[in-house]
Chains A and B, each alone.
Chain A
Amino acid sequence: MTRLLPFPLLSAALFGMWVLLTGFSPGHVLLAGLVALTIPRVMLLLKVEKPRVRIGWSMVRLAGFVLGDIIRSNVAVGRIILCKPPARRSGFIRLPIALENRYALVVLAVIITATPGTLWVQHDARRKIILIHVLDLVDEEAWIALIKNRYEKLLMDIFE
């Protein structure tokens, strides 16, 4: 299995992309299979670390949390832009992070940056700190607790 498909997730993603782009005709499904079998081999030459992903409910829960948080912070940031509350303060927070898996960190970076109102700025792998800029910094501890309890735990569940 690993010899045939060294990167099964990448293969699945390529297959899905090909089929979605070309429509569901039998010829293209066959071609998609061929692409999914051959292209990921290029990654072998790059000698990337293989992601170990545990597929399960954690992924669904993570996706749900992300979607909910994105909608909620869209509303929150929209309100800040339109109403301009005078007491708002933005600032940086330092967040100690226990995650070490680079794929988990990438996913966390994308989640934090894609959510309006928070921006991932820097990661120090040695000290295990990430620097985040928050648009509406009310309570620093609350942010740290939110990211640690909600996202870090789930990402550890999925990747480590």
Chain B
Amino acid sequence: MIQAPDLPLWAAIIVGLFVVLGAVITLVGAIGLIRMETFYERVHPPTLGMTLGTGFVLLASITCFSVMQSRPVLHEVLIAVFVTITTPITLMLLARAALYRDRSEGVQDVPGDFGDEGDD
């Protein structure tokens, strides 16, 4: 950000707040990835970075460039859209792979395949 010194003080404060907030939320998600115990629990924390973490960083970017160029810069919205559409695919793929492995190994605390069960 070479033009950053041109940013007026009020905008710099807002942008800074958004960036730090987004980074902190993403960090909490990353810490969660380490602190959770099972695989299925570990899939959840990174979504923090993907939702509000990304959201705040994008808000910062929108504010920063909109103020500097004195016109609304909105193409960051596309990043939010594509991140939201694509990350669930990875998460589901990982969870399905883990579930498949656990089921074929006969681990007790995962639910069986719907077709395999007589009780429901």
Whether A110 pairs with B111 at a CB distance below 8 angstroms is no
B47 with A116: CB separation less than 8 A: yes
Please tell me if B9 contacts chain A, counting CB pairs below 8 Å.
Answer: no
| Given the contacts A78-B25, A84-B35, A114-B51, A121 and B85 also touching, CB distance less than 8 Å | no
The answer on a CB contact under 8 Å between A121 and B114 is no
Judge if A135 is at the interface, Cβ distance under 8 Å: yes
Q: Contact string, B83-120, partner A, CB cutoff 8 A, digits 1/0?
A: 01101100110011001000000000011001100001
Instruction: Enumerate chain A residues within 8 angstroms of B40, measured Cβ to Cβ.
Output: 90, 119, 133
Number of A-B contacts (CB under 8 A): 93
Chain B contacts with A in 17-56, Cβ cutoff 8 A: 25, 28-29, 31-32, 35-36, 38, 40-41, 43-45, 47-48, 50-52
Point out the residues of chain A lying under 8 angstroms from B43, CB to CB: 119, 133
Number of B residues near A (Cβ < 8 Å) is: 36
Q: Chain B interface: which of A31-39, A42-50, A122-130, A142-150?
A: A122-130
Q: Is A55 an interface residue (CB 8 A)?
A: no
A121 touches B95 (CB 8 A): yes
Chain A interface, >50% SS class = mixed
Residue-wise, chain A 80-91 has the 8 Å CB interface mask toward B (1 for contact) of: 111010000010
Which of B31, B88, B96 is close to A122, meaning CB atoms less than 8 Å apart? B96
| CB neighbors of B among A88-109 (8 A) | 90, 92, 94, 109
What are 28 A-B contacts defined by CB distance under 8 Å?
A: A17-B78, A20-B74, A20-B75, A21-B75, A74-B25, A74-B48, A78-B48, A80-B32, A81-B35, A81-B36, A82-B31, A84-B35, A90-B41, A92-B110, A94-B120, A109-B92, A113-B87, A114-B87, A116-B47, A117-B44, A117-B47, A118-B44, A119-B91, A119-B95, A122-B96, A124-B114, A127-B114, A129-B114
